[in-house]
Amino acid sequence: MISNEDYFRFAKERDTLQANVKALLERFPESRDSYQILVNFFWYYVDGLHRFIPREVLKDLTSPESITRAYRKVVTDNPSLQPSAKTRLQRDQQLERHSRYYRSGDRNYKEE
């Protein structure tokens, strides 16, 4: 496991989401077989959510992908449940940043 003093360094040494995911996959091979474990490690080590969810509990939780997939379907079918205009704008901006990152072909691409 990573020591307390390494928590911030773990995320700060990597400047992209993908770099953090890669580091977690390398450090914790069990996260390669479970999105839930990967998300749990990401929240714990990268985002600093220091409430680790035990694996025996985690395996019984609904996956984040299933929840967000259901969310997208619900808001598509029920426009009144759409997020606020501000949130939609932020999501669109994030999508554009990610699209530029992947289109650039440069895995070291950073926002200016």
Average pLDDT estimate for 90-109: 78
Q: Identity (one letter) of the amino acid at 77?
A: D
Separation CA 41–CA 110 (nearest Å) = 24
pTM for this structure? 0.56
Q: Is 46 exposed, middle or buried (0-12, 13-18, 19+ CB in 10 A)?
A: buried
Domain spans of the chain?
A: 6-61
How many CB atoms are located within 10 Å of the residue 45 CB? 23
- So what's the pLDDT on residue 2? 54
Q: Per-residue pLDDT tens for 80-93?
A: 888 888 988 988 99
Tokens for 105, please give them: 């072909």
Q: Could you read off the pLDDT of 26-70 as tens digits, one per residue?
A: 888 888 878 788 888 888 888 878 777 787 887 787 778 877 788
How crowded is residue 73: how many other Cβ atoms within 10 Å of its Cβ? 10
